[in-house]
A and B are shown apart, each in its own frame.
Chain A
Amino acid sequence: MVIIVQQQEIHNFLVKYFTANQCEILVNTGSYITVQLTVELDKELMNRPFYWHYLEKTGGVPNPMKLTLITDQKKAPEDIKGEVIHFGSPRLHQIFHSTKNLAGYIRLYEDHQATMGQQVPLRPWLGMNVKISYQCDRKRDVFRSIGLQLINGQLIENFHDELLKLQLARKIPDYSFTLSPLIMPNSGVTRIQNMIRSNILEEDHSWANDARERWSKDMKLLEHFYEEAEEKGESYENEKRALQEQYEPKVQISIINGGIFYLSEKAI
């Protein structure tokens, strides 16, 4: 049952992805889709740089590919030729990756429903969606979405969810003007970083201590193994470095995406 729901989700995701990238969806049966790729998406997904290079040199007519993706193998017609997509398939992960790649930075304005004639000030916010990975020989991740108001320095969590409740537009709506930030976006990013950093430092780090314990245990064994060797040599150094890579606890913070959002006062 879980898998079916998941496959449906994947199907919807693919439709959204291609639509958002201005690709025409030629067939959509619920069990598979056929998409006419745009030139941009062909370059992004189909991995044929030589073709595009050749075409640009010769000035030929570009002929981007059609892609058929099957999301429900049981219901799709048997004679349909395409790639079967599931949660583990490389194609899906390529598309996941591309999604992040293509939408790393954004700038949006709140499309507020203001009364005519009244000028509405829009305040600048910096929004960042981040993934925090706690890594040693094991790993876990936490997703956080943080917003920073660039005038008064207000910080809020779950910023992305707040955005989803609003109407947002790429262009500034009528009867609006933007307020200039007092905090520059660049230092805003640093502020958010610092906040995340201090939050992390306050957390319980028994996982890291455990990892260090495992590390030192293995390190002791290694020392013992080479105890009697006069020259410990390269393999000792290799093993030592490998243990560090295996166990050393660290927290890695990567930014999924983010951007500048101009929002009305009552928005948040």
Chain B
Amino acid sequence: MTVEIEFDSSWQEGLVEKITNDGPWGNFELYKLAVEVEKHTVIDNFEGLQAPKHLPNLTPLPHQLEVAKQVVESMNGKAILADEVGLGKTIEAGLILKEYMIRGLVKKVLILVPASLVTQWSYELTSKFYIPAVAQRKSYVWEQCDVVVSSIDTAKRAPHREIILSQDYDLIIIDEAHKLKNNKTKNYEFVQSLKKKFCLLLTATPIQNRVGEIFNLVSLLKPGHLGNESVFNEKYKKDSRDINDNEHLKELVNKVMIRNRRADTGIEWTKRQVETIPIELTKEEQDLYDSVTELRSEGDWTTTSAFSVMTLQREACSSREAVFFTLKNMLEKKENPSKEYQDQITYLIEKVNAVHTNSKAVKALELIQQVNDKVIIFTEYRATQLYLQWYLKQNGISSVPFRGGFKRGKKDWMRQLFENNVQVLIATEAGGEGINLQFCNHIINFDLPWNPMRLEQRIGRIHRLGQEKDVMIYNFATKGTVEEHVLKLLHEKINLFEKVIGDLDDILTRLEFGSFEDHLSDIFGNSTSEGEMRIKMDNLASMIQFAEEVKDGDYRAATGNS
């Protein structure tokens, strides 16, 4: 079979010109140097990694080098990098990018990451990999710079969108790619229409609960690898518990996905020490919680606002400010509220006003003083975040807030302040993703998210490579509330905190389990008695335990990347 051979003809033309004009001719010393350089930089083998030689200040870990090699040599440069949080997916992506650039296979690169990570990515690529990655701030950057880092939200909007779609990219890297699990979204459609030769999708949570989501992710990377949509649905969704079919699916997925677990890396990880801190509510706080809970038994609230009731319950476990904020919203957003509705809200607001201490905040303060080191407090609610910042300040402790909505610059600034100047960082959920805070080893879960993966994301901010101390996790649980039940389930029944991330994820996926959060909502929302609730929680726990046992058997072989 013949191969296309391309000759660079410009040199020939140049030579004729030099001869005609009798020069100017080059200098022999430089001429010899040029040959030396070329002999040095020629890469005479398809296999092997060149990148490490070019990175004297970076010592990649063995599993990171292995990933880079595997992607280039056996996955043809298209892969989902799905290591557990904190194993250095950015380093892996950087190595692969560098390798392709050195070999001259990649020049034009687009890197799409959450807005909060744009600066960090361009900084890391520039400083660790000597790749001039430009954070997109002006629209001319798309065309003028070879390696551009941007958020999807910016990239998909005019005028950027049109410019980007008109270009051919050699490599596209997408961080937090699990956000592209739904193929009906604008983001998905945008990424699908990008022109790309090689592609890396980075995610710590590749399969969140539904097999269909992995189909969408893989189809972005390699359309057809899992068949087309109708075939896929028929094969895997209808009878998703057929082990043979799932084995086959796992095998296929593993051809395009690499997933390292902490345990596989051979790195000695620092320990996680988990402490449950029971919180005794004050009389007024308990009263507020009970009043919110009682709403459930009152007819029209259950049918129309089961979700609100549960939200209010959870908020009552966090702060009165959080409850108040929601109540205010409920009143303002309701069209033509009935008299009863208004009265009910007013009644609850009175209960809010009656609360004067926040028992959790008191405990948090005590703990922070006792720890006498940097501490991150996670809360689900912005109102709680604001309150805590104020409360700590009153007690002589300065803190910085952190939210997903902050602009890049502000996030970087907050992180820096936390590292250098203040003792406490208070983050809401959205801010939990995408910052690395391994210089801190204490986390307070002021309240709990009901999605276990989000909880793992929180811990992953500090329990990652570079963490030198044991990680201390303090879980606050208000006695006699939904929170206590949830914590018990997560901590005692399924050992979530000691477990490595991904395990639970695999289990949930395997069961076609649906969202964890939905299960909890169902249990708390529809149980008519305390007893029923307890039984349902136990059932949930045993289901997970059961799936785990099955998994430990024949299942592991298919998911591991041995």
Binding site for B on A (CB under 8 A): 3, 13, 16-17, 19-21, 86-90, 96, 99-100, 102-108, 129, 131, 133-135, 137-143, 145, 160, 164, 168, 170, 185-186, 189-190, 193, 197, 200-201, 205, 207-209, 212, 214, 218, 220-228, 234-235, 238-239, 241-242, 245-260
B27 beta carbon closer than 8 Å to chain A: yes
> Which residue of chain B lies nearest to A22 when distances are taken between CB atoms in the complex?
B27
Q: Is the CB of A256 within 8 A of B130?
A: no
CB-contact partner of A249 in B4, B19, B222, under 8 A: B4
Q: B77 to chain A: which residues have CB within 8 Å?
A: 137, 246
Q: Is the CB of A214 within 8 A of B227?
A: no
Q: Is the CB of B33 within 8 A of A103?
A: yes
Chain A min CB distance to B406 (Å): 32
Known contacts being A20-B29, A227-B228, is A145 close to B14, with CB within 8 Å? no
Q: A200 to chain B: which residues have CB within 8 Å?
A: 3, 5
Chain B min CB distance to A11 (Å): 13
Chain A min CB distance to B218 (Å): 10
B44 beta carbon closer than 8 Å to chain A: yes
Q: Is the CB of B11 within 8 A of A16?
A: no
A8 CA to B165 CA in the complex, in Å? 45
Q: Is the CB of B8 within 8 A of A254?
A: yes
Q: Is the CB of A89 within 8 A of B27?
A: no
CB-contact partner of B224 in A221, A238, A251, A252, under 8 A: A221
Q: Is the CB of A100 within 8 A of B195?
A: no
> For window 183-203 of chain B, which residues contact chain A by CB distance below 8 Å?
192-198
A–B complex contacts, Cβ < 8 Å, 21 sampled = A88-B98, A104-B26, A105-B14, A131-B42, A138-B46, A138-B47, A185-B16, A193-B7, A212-B1, A221-B222, A221-B225, A223-B224, A226-B223, A226-B224, A251-B3, A251-B5, A251-B6, A252-B6, A256-B34, A258-B11, A259-B25
Q: Is the CB of A135 within 8 A of B11?
A: no
B55 beta carbon closer than 8 Å to chain A: yes
Q: Is the CB of B219 within 8 A of A225?
A: yes
Q: Is the CB of B46 within 8 A of A246?
A: no
Q: Is the CB of B35 within 8 A of A251?
A: no
Q: Is the CB of A105 within 8 A of B6?
A: no
Known contacts being A200-B3, A205-B3, is A257 close to B228, with CB within 8 Å? no
Contact with A along B249-276 (1 / 0, CB 8 A): 0000000000000000000000000000
Q: B56 to chain A: which residues have CB within 8 Å?
A: 3, 86-88
Contact with A along B12-53 (1 / 0, CB 8 A): 101110110001011111111111111101111111000001
Q: Is the CB of B1 within 8 A of A131?
A: no
Chain A min CB distance to B135 (Å): 17
Q: Is the CB of B3 within 8 A of A250?
A: yes
Q: Is the CB of A235 within 8 A of B227?
A: no
Q: Is the CB of A160 within 8 A of B23?
A: no
Q: A221 to chain B: which residues have CB within 8 Å?
A: 222-225
CB-contact partner of A20 in B2, B30, B219, under 8 A: B30
Known contacts being A86-B56, A103-B27, is A142 close to B38, with CB within 8 Å? no
Q: Is the CB of A17 within 8 A of B219?
A: no
Chain A min CB distance to B150 (Å): 20
Chain A min CB distance to B280 (Å): 57
> Which residue of chain B lies nearest to A253 when distances are taken between CB atoms in the complex?
B7
Q: B38 to chain A: which residues have CB within 8 Å?
A: 100, 129, 131, 143, 256
> Which residue of chain A lies nearest to B196 when distances are taken between CB atoms in the complex?
A242
Q: A143 to chain B: which residues have CB within 8 Å?
A: 38-39, 42
Which 4 A-B pairs give the minimum distances between C-beta atoms?
A221-B224, A88-B54, A225-B224, A103-B26
> For window 305-322 of chain B, which residues contact chain A by CB distance below 8 Å?
none
Q: A220 to chain B: which residues have CB within 8 Å?
A: 224
Chain B min CB distance to A91 (Å): 10
Q: Is the CB of B53 within 8 A of A87?
A: yes
A251 CA to B38 CA in the complex, in Å? 17
Q: Is the CB of A99 within 8 A of B105?
A: no
Q: Is the CB of B44 within 8 A of A140?
A: yes
A20 CA to B29 CA in the complex, in Å? 6
B104 beta carbon closer than 8 Å to chain A: yes
Q: Is the CB of B30 within 8 A of A103?
A: yes
> Which residue of chain B lies nearest to A140 when distances are taken between CB atoms in the complex?
B46
Contact with A along B199-223 (1 / 0, CB 8 A): 0000000000000000000010011
Q: A105 to chain B: which residues have CB within 8 Å?
A: 14-15, 18, 25-26
B76 beta carbon closer than 8 Å to chain A: yes
Chain A min CB distance to B198 (Å): 7
> Which residue of chain B lies nearest to A143 when distances are taken between CB atoms in the complex?
B42
Q: Is the CB of B197 within 8 A of A246?
A: yes
Q: Is the CB of B223 within 8 A of A250?
A: no
B103 beta carbon closer than 8 Å to chain A: yes
> Which residue of chain A lies nearest to B126 when distances are taken between CB atoms in the complex?
A90
A88 CA to B35 CA in the complex, in Å? 18
Q: B11 to chain A: which residues have CB within 8 Å?
A: 104, 189, 254-255, 258
Chain B min CB distance to A253 (Å): 5
Q: Is the CB of A234 within 8 A of B193?
A: yes
> For window 112-160 of chain B, which residues contact chain A by CB distance below 8 Å?
129-130, 132
Q: B4 to chain A: which residues have CB within 8 Å?
A: 248-251
> Which residue of chain A lies nearest to B41 when distances are taken between CB atoms in the complex?
A96
Chain A min CB distance to B258 (Å): 17
Chain A min CB distance to B371 (Å): 37
Q: Is the CB of A106 within 8 A of B28?
A: yes
Contact with A along B354-397 (1 / 0, CB 8 A): 00000000000000000000000000000000000000000000
Chain B min CB distance to A69 (Å): 15
Q: Is the CB of B27 within 8 A of A102?
A: yes
Q: B47 to chain A: which residues have CB within 8 Å?
A: 138
Q: A129 to chain B: which residues have CB within 8 Å?
A: 34-35, 38
Q: Is the CB of B76 within 8 A of A102?
A: no
> Which residue of chain A lies nearest to B23 when distances are taken between CB atoms in the complex?
A107
A197 CA to B3 CA in the complex, in Å? 10
Q: B195 to chain A: which residues have CB within 8 Å?
A: 238, 241-242
Known contacts being A102-B26, A139-B103, A245-B168, is A226 close to B76, with CB within 8 Å? no
B73 beta carbon closer than 8 Å to chain A: yes
Q: B228 to chain A: which residues have CB within 8 Å?
A: 224-228
CB-contact partner of A225 in B2, B19, B129, B223, under 8 A: B223
Q: Is the CB of B5 within 8 A of A249?
A: no
Q: Is the CB of B197 within 8 A of A242?
A: yes
Known contacts being A96-B41, A189-B15, A205-B1, is A103 close to B168, with CB within 8 Å? no
Q: B72 to chain A: which residues have CB within 8 Å?
A: 138
